Structure 1
Amino acid sequence: MPSLEEIIVDSATAGLDLQAETGAMPAGHNGPYHDPETPVRNTAHWLVTFLSAHEHTGDDRFWDAADRALSYLLGEEARPDDWSFSHRTGDDKDQCNGLIGQAWTIEALAEAVDAGLRPQEACNVATEVFLAHPFDEALALWKRVEPDGSVLPYDRTFNHQVWFAAAGGLLIDGAGRDAVPSVESQVQRFLERLPELMRLYDDGVVYHPLRPEWTGGERLSLLRPGKWRLLKNDCFALVRPPSSRRRLRKKAIGYHSFNLYGLALLKLSYPDHEVWNHVKIERALAVLQTKSYQSQISDNPYGYPYNPPGFENALALQVFGDRDRIASEWVDRQLQTCYDPESYLMTKCSEDENTAAARLYEATRII
């Protein structure tokens, strides 16, 4: 098996032939969800991969491909009404893809800022989109915003909130804390509240729905108009049938690594924050070394066929401690399961090959 760096460069080379004249990369369908998607998500992912390949090789082809991808993301097709980015085209779900769609795009723009690829333009758009999302200071949660500017209720998926905060952290890293003080204050507040927002199963797996550990006063405040919906997850948890609880448990296992990767990004941005010493963080990391989790993630529909847990767990282990040997084992598992050495793309075992290939970008941060 080639080195991870070689695989990133080979995959980026293959990606050059996939890029449209507009700079867009092939759209997927959100893996097991089969949502009709625009090219925005995968173009954002590939932008990060192209920048990484350029950093490794100095080959201007990758810089030019990244620049074309950035042009697409900054263009009218990706952000038609100058509000949020357009990620989905179906009628039954939001078009912004919650906070997570915006987080993925802001993440890519932040990497462009950090690399010096049209940094001011990328920073301005990323900051504008981030701050367009209403933030509740008391709850430390963001609401969703549609591409036409319509404000939707709070995003009630925990990993979406984590990744949105992480995207803000990356933007702060690239632009500097003094350049985006409003983003900085929101992310800092989220980190303060993280232990209460993050709920774990008894074995340490992170809950998929947002089910904060509310105080009494917070519960009362949630009864005010516009906030009561946040109590739905708690109320539904009490009455869900066993089949629903099993489904959410399976999803939690499939997304555990995705949560840890988002938390790792936040730690890279705020390495000395006291939240990283919290027992919940250590319990969530300890899950990765259990045979139960390793067995369950191997055949989970939200695992290797969609999320890349090998890359995600590897980064979490490297960022949160000196566990490089175990991290390397996770990377090997990911590549053996999903990397196709003939196409140089991470498309094996996936029903959404376009999205799976784009998600190699998550490996670019692994040491």
Structure 2
Amino acid sequence: MYEKYISLLISLSDYMVKKVLESGNAFEGKNGPYNNKDTALRNSTHWYQIFAFLYHETKEEIYKECSDRLLLFITNAENYGSNMAPKCRTDANIDDINGLIGPAWTIEGLIYAYRNTREFKLLDIAYDIFLSQEFDTKDNLWRIIDTQGKNWGYDLTFNHQLWFAAVGYELASITCEDPRRAKVENQCNMFGNNITKHLRYYPNGLFCHIAYMGYSGKYKLKYYIKKYLRYVSGVLCLKNKYSEMYNLEKGYLCFDLYGFAILKQYNPNLQVFSDSIFRKAVELGTNEDFLMKMANEIPFNKYAFAYNSPAFEYPFVAKMLRGTADNKLCKKLLDKQIDLTMGSDNTYLTSNVNDPNTLKARAYELIRFLDLECD
């Protein structure tokens, strides 16, 4: 599969080279199915990793030129507020950093760039971005702080908190004398040690998308009633708002587990990894029948193969959380992904997709698995 993944990344890069050389950034997307007005920052951080990886593997100078151009864009101060929060979208009436996931993806790209260049300024930016968000020691969660310094409250999308902590742990794993390293690590430890307080599951192991806050009795009752309605509606395939949310949660399972896989890579001793219900989530998210059913539904799950592709996420998830990735399933998922989204002009990842620019960029998720295979 290593060669097949490399071949896919090379094929995808062909459409991006000209854009990067002309403008210095990647094509912006629409945040998948959400139709946000994304800036080019998110996809540029993803594409930086693809081009840097391809240069490392092939030594083709065009890939180095593209990665260098993208890194200049990613580090451009115009993409950040004065507080160093990254500007990821321009929609009215919502935060402009895409919750915590916008900063998480930006930091992830900067860490990858640091590992390639060993330029400390990249860590410096990453620290500033991380600490632009406000950590609350009472609930052990981060609040969203946008580029203007506005506090939007807790990011209650659980996977946003998870991914932010995961890249924070990765950032803190890099040895340096910067005092901010200890601050980042301390916040991540407080989140990691309390993660089960905010994580809820369905009986089959699927994660609830919304973080559980556990406040008053009235809050608890409302949370669990909605959870029950989503589960029943989803299992019975009813057509309502509750089943739509359950469908989203299914489509996000591999992405959620990918965040946990990063977390395990840098802090494998967290209690959550020993919990039987978490193991159940891993079993579900790496189960062939579960994954292929989302692909074979009509229409196929738009939150999975059109956005959070199991074809890109399963290999790293299975490797980190199960110890090995099934090569036959890797091939089956990639073949299905290509079949579902092949354009009429034989272009990859363009058909039946709301946001092909972002889906193509999301192929960068293969790189963590490929790096493990190289080690």
In the superposition, the TM-score normalised over structure 2's length comes to 0.85
**Equivalent position of 1:172 in the other structure:** 172
C-alpha separation between the residues in 2 aligned to 1:290 and 1:51? 31
Q: After superposition, what is the alpha-carbon deviation per residue over 1:306-342, rounded to whole angstroms, capped at 9, x for unaligned? A: 1112221221111112332244543443344446697
**Equivalent position of 1:227 in the other structure:** none
Q: 1:125 to 1:341 in 2, by over 3 A?
A: farther
Q: How does 1:241-280 map to 2 (within 5 A)?
A: 243-280=240-277
8 Å contact from structure 2 (residues 295, 336) kept in 1: no
**Equivalent position of 1:161 in the other structure:** 161
Measured after TM superposition, the shift of residue 82 of structure 1 is: 4.0
**Equivalent position of 1:151 in the other structure:** 151
Measured after TM superposition, the shift of residue 18 of structure 1 is: 2.1
Measured after TM superposition, the shift of residue 274 of structure 1 is: 4.2
Matched residue of 2:294: which SS?
helix
Corresponding letter in the other structure for 1:296: M
Equivalent of 2:222, from 222, 225, 235?
235
* Aligned length, in residue pairs: 351
Corresponding letter in the other structure for 2:292: Q
Matched residue of 1:18: which SS?
helix
Q: 1:255 to 1:233 in 2, by over 3 A?
A: farther
> Identity of aligned pairs, percent?
26
In the superposition, the TM-score normalised over structure 1's length comes to 0.86
C-alpha separation between the residues in 2 aligned to 1:234 and 1:25? 45
Deviates more, 1:278-287 or 1:3-12: 3-12
Measured after TM superposition, the shift of residue 45 of structure 1 is: 0.7
Measured after TM superposition, the shift of residue 21 of structure 1 is: 4.2
8 Å contact from structure 1 (residues 177, 184) kept in 2: no
Matched residue of 2:143: which SS?
strand
**Equivalent position of 2:294 in the other structure:** 296
Q: How does 1:1-367 map to 2 (within 5 A)?
A: 3-19=4-20, 21-116=22-117, 119-173=119-173, 175-176=174-175, 179=178, 180-212=181-213, 214=214, 219=215, 235=222, 238=225, 243-287=240-284, 288-289=286-287, 291-292=289-290, 294-296=292-294, 298=296, 299-325=300-326, 326-338=329-341, 345-366=348-369, 367=373
C-alpha separation between the residues in 2 aligned to 1:343 and 1:18? 20
Measured after TM superposition, the shift of residue 184 of structure 1 is: 1.2
Q: 1:198 to 1:148 in 2, by over 3 A?
A: same
Query: CA RMSD for the aligned pairs?
Result: 2.7
- Please list every run of 5 or more consecutive structure 1 residues that lacks an aligned counterpart in the other structure: 224-230
Q: After superposition, what is the alpha-carbon deviation per residue over 1:135-178, rounded to whole angstroms, capped at 9, x for unaligned? A: 122322101011112122000001111111112123234x3275
C-alpha separation between the residues in 2 aligned to 1:233 and 1:259? 23
C-alpha separation between the residues in 1 aligned to 2:11 and 2:175? 32
Matched residue of 1:142: which SS?
strand
Q: 1:263 to 1:340 in 2, by over 3 A?
A: farther
Corresponding letter in the other structure for 1:289: N
